[in-house]
Amino acid sequence: MFSKVLIANRGEIACRVIRTAHWLGIAAVAVYSEADEGALHVELADEAWPIGPPPARESYLNIAAILGAARNSGAEAVHPGYGFLSENADFAEACEAAGLVFIGPPVSAIRSMGSKAEAKELMQRHGVPLIPGYHGGDQDSGRLLEEAERVGFPVLIKASAGGGGRGMRIVGHAGEFAAALAGARREAVAAFGDDRVLIEKYLERPRHIEIQIFADRFGNTVHLFERDCSIQRRHQKILEEAPAPGLDAARRSAIAEAAVTAARAVGYIGAGTVEFIAEGGAFYFIEMNTRLQVEHPVTEAVTGLDLVEWQLRVAAGEPLPMCQQDLVVHGHAIEVRLYAEDPQRDFLPQTGTLRGLRFPAPELARIDTGVRKGDSVTPFYDAMIAKIIAFGDDRTAAVGRLQRALAATAVFGVGTNLEFLARVAAHPDFVSGAVDTGFVDRNRAFLGPPLRPAPDIVLAAAALSRLLARENAAKVAATHSGDPFSPWDRVDGWRLNGRSHQELIFRDGAEERSVRARYQTGDWLLQLDDRAILVAGERQPDDTLAILLDGVRKQVMVMSHGAETAVFLDGERWRLSEIDPLGARGAEDQTAGRLSAPMPGRVAQVMVEPGMPVRRGQPLIVIEAMKMEHTVAASADGVVEAVRYSPGDLVEEGAELIALAPADQALG
């Protein structure tokens, strides 16, 4: 076994590998960009080496810098994690040339499977079923359009060199093809450094089924059963489970056998995943990921195995720890990916500081994360905050635990998909196991309903939290004053003559909500609109507020920073902002109607120029951030007055990208 391993990655997967390495007595070496100097994976590692500036191209994709860190640290092997260089054959080859063991498959397997076109040709030769499409080497735009018309619309354009939804576009008819192809190629180059694509028939309601496979250097190949990854957004997985619900034994066996055939066809060694798409009675090979998958924890949960340990043992030259007949499934596991993103804005990634962060107890769910409270979500890397993995003796128990785990999770300071995930877990179709890749699009009204006003308990919890914070601050100030018992340090509304009250005013969405609070011998009497509520409570160290509301005790999570307060209750979140009654009120938003950057990023494409008339909804400029493209469209008819940025420019969130004049104005 190795004595020291370098992890060529960051975030939760780096932390995950470090934990297993330490359990096996292996020293772990981390690498980090300037943006990650204080990251959790840096703290957990035995040593950490800087590899460059924040952009991934200059750090986590910098092969020379990573090999330099491995050489200088004395590491014997490199674990690539997933993403970044994990499926880069040149990196694997460079590791071998430097005398380092690459903890992954042979270079030949990476090259064969790294090209989706070559992979499909190889699978076809070995009898693995393929979806109708084109995966040839002729990448001329005209030829690709001809092939799309031959296959029949709708089709899917996919980057040949990678996955994860990047470089992928659904095309409904020929008129959309050119623009979709250009976008897919740009995104493919940005994510994988390769603009080649392939064309596939787009299936309307398929399921996404994948098989975890493992192979060693002694010719042994096994599968560790299947995972269902059908619930996706923007062609990226957000929920995975094992085993796949509703999959009969014959289909399960056939898909697993096809996966093992695929692995043997390519001479595979190590951990890999063979992905299929299934519709009706048929299933088709999509791709093979020559690395560990993000969703590997659900397989670990139902098999009781540590897949990173298996990776390390196989890479060190050991045989597989178990044979196929010894592998069994127990129970059911479901993983959700908690992202910093806005489901109401087409899952646009979000950035910011994690002012508050709370995860469920270990007995309720496994949490894989690479962040802590106080860390920042930056535009440079993937926006995933954590993976929440629930396990039960059967699927019903796993779903119930997942629902409870999501209700016990809270993130404050950056927008997330937490409420969206909670609604997915509560949807009747998901609960019954009736899922396919169109689940999210079909159920947007249920999964992303409009914001509703904060109910009384939420408003009461926010008010009580701020009242308790003021009371505590006053006690601290009194303790450090000359007279700690001075009545002037009280904040309970005490007056020399008569009773008084405090008034708190919150902004709840577009509305203002007033709470009048009067202290009554240990309790607070709150006047909420036309209702009076008697409230008491105390704040726990974990941000939980134990609140007694008209005699009923309830646990509510409340997090605050400055004037902002977030209340988490039963899987929902409300954001309230306290208004200073002496401050400016009702100021008009000076940024309304501006075409501004939705987040920090790089300009990928500008589609207009000054003087050009545009229509509402027309795409104007494309921003690349967090490995994805985001199109900014015209908010109204108008004429382009000015274009502030050019392709390649970096922009900050909120920066004005394009100035539009009303349609009836001509430029001078």
pLDDT band at residue 483 using 50, 70 and 90 as cut-offs? low
Position 2 pLDDT exceeds 80: yes
- The token pair at 648 is 């390649």
- The token pair at 523 is 């309790």
pLDDT band at residue 593 using 50, 70 and 90 as cut-offs? very low
Residues 97 and 158 in one domain: no
pLDDT band at residue 591 using 50, 70 and 90 as cut-offs? very low
Calpha distance 26→19 (Å, rounded): 10
CATH code, 45: 3.40.50.20
Domain count, the chain: 5
What pLDDT score was predicted for residue 589?
Answer: 41
Residues 415 and 267 in one domain: yes
Neighbours of 331 (CB within 10 A): 17
Q: Which DSSP string do the residues of 545-598 spell out, in sequence order?
A: EEEEETTEEEEEEEEEETTEEEEEETTEEEEEEE--TTS--S---TTTT-EE-S
What pLDDT score was predicted for residue 486?
Answer: 61
Calpha distance 390→369 (Å, rounded): 15
Residues 605 and 495 in one domain: no
Residue with tokens 């370098």: 6
Residues 398 and 543 in one domain: no
Residues 49 and 171 in one domain: no
CA-closest candidate to residue 358, choices 319, 309, 412, 318: 412
pLDDT digits (tens, 9 = 90+) for 436-447: 999 999 999 999
Classify residue 108: in a domain, yes or no.
Answer: no
291 is catalytic: yes
φ/ψ region of 282 (left if φ > 0, alpha if ψ in -120 to 50, else beta) reads: beta
CA-closest candidate to residue 195, choices 237, 157, 252, 146: 157
What pLDDT score was predicted for residue 485?
Answer: 62
Which residue, 418, 447, 476, sits at the end of a domain? 447
Residue 62 dihedral angles phi and psi, to the nearest 5°: -90, 95
CATH code, 518: 3.30.700.30
Which residue, 58, 83, 103, sits at the end of a domain? 103
Classify residue 113: in a domain, yes or no.
Answer: no
CA-closest candidate to residue 353, choices 379, 381, 373, 330: 373
pLDDT digits (tens, 9 = 90+) for 193-252: 889 999 999 888 899 999 999 999 999 999 999 999 999 998 889 999 999 999 999 999
Residues 366 and 433 in one domain: yes
| Least confident residue range of 167-176, 319-328, 658-667 | 658-667
Mean pLDDT value of segment 509-536: 88
Instruction: Calculate the CA 247 to chain-centre distance.
Output: 27
Residues 165 and 243 in one domain: no
Classify residue 668: in a domain, yes or no.
Answer: no
Which ranges of 115-240 does DSSP label H, i.e. alpha helix?
116-125, 141-151, 177-192
Q: Which domain holds residue 186?
A: 132-201
Neighbours of 618 (CB within 10 A): 14
pLDDT band at residue 192 using 50, 70 and 90 as cut-offs? confident
Classify residue 115: in a domain, yes or no.
Answer: no
Position 666 pLDDT exceeds 60: no
CA-closest candidate to residue 508, choices 539, 529, 532: 529
Residues 431 and 463 in one domain: no
The mean of the pLDDT values for the chain is 90
Using CA atoms of 615, 620, 625, 629 in order, give the dihedral in degrees to the nearest 10: 70
Position 173 pLDDT exceeds 90: yes
Q: Can you list the pairs that 63-67 forms with residues at least 24 positions away whose Cβ atoms lie under 8 Å?
A: 63/88, 63/90, 63/91, 63/94, 65/31, 66/6, 66/8, 66/31, 66/91, 67/94, 67/95, 67/98, 67/100
Position 264 pLDDT exceeds 60: yes
Classify residue 470: in a domain, yes or no.
Answer: yes
Residue 392 Cα distances to 6, 21, 432, angstroms: 34, 27, 15
Of 207, 291, 513, 573, which one is the catalytic site residue?
A: 291
Q: Is the bond preceding residue 610 a cis peptide, omega within 30 degrees?
A: no
Residues 162 and 248 in one domain: no
Calpha distance 269→313 (Å, rounded): 11
CA atoms within a 13 Å half-sphere pointing along the CA-CB vector of 347: 24
What pLDDT score was predicted for residue 172?
Answer: 94
Buried b (16+ CB within 10 A) or exposed e, 153-190: bebbbbbbbbbbbbbbbebeeeeebeebbebbbbbbbb
Classify residue 174: in a domain, yes or no.
Answer: yes
Classify residue 488: in a domain, yes or no.
Answer: yes
Residues 170 and 228 in one domain: no
What pLDDT score was predicted for residue 498?
Answer: 44
What pLDDT score was predicted for residue 587?
Answer: 41
Using CA atoms of 92, 94, 99, 102 in order, give the dihedral in degrees to the nearest 10: -10
Residues 412 and 360 in one domain: yes
Residue 70 Cα distances to 41, 48, 52, 97, angstroms: 16, 10, 14, 13
CATH code, 162: 3.30.1490.20
- Residue 287: beta bridge partners? 275
- The token pair at 486 is 């001075």
Classify residue 120: in a domain, yes or no.
Answer: no
Which residue, 144, 174, 201, sits at the end of a domain? 201
CATH code, 645: 2.40.50.100
Residues 401 and 336 in one domain: yes
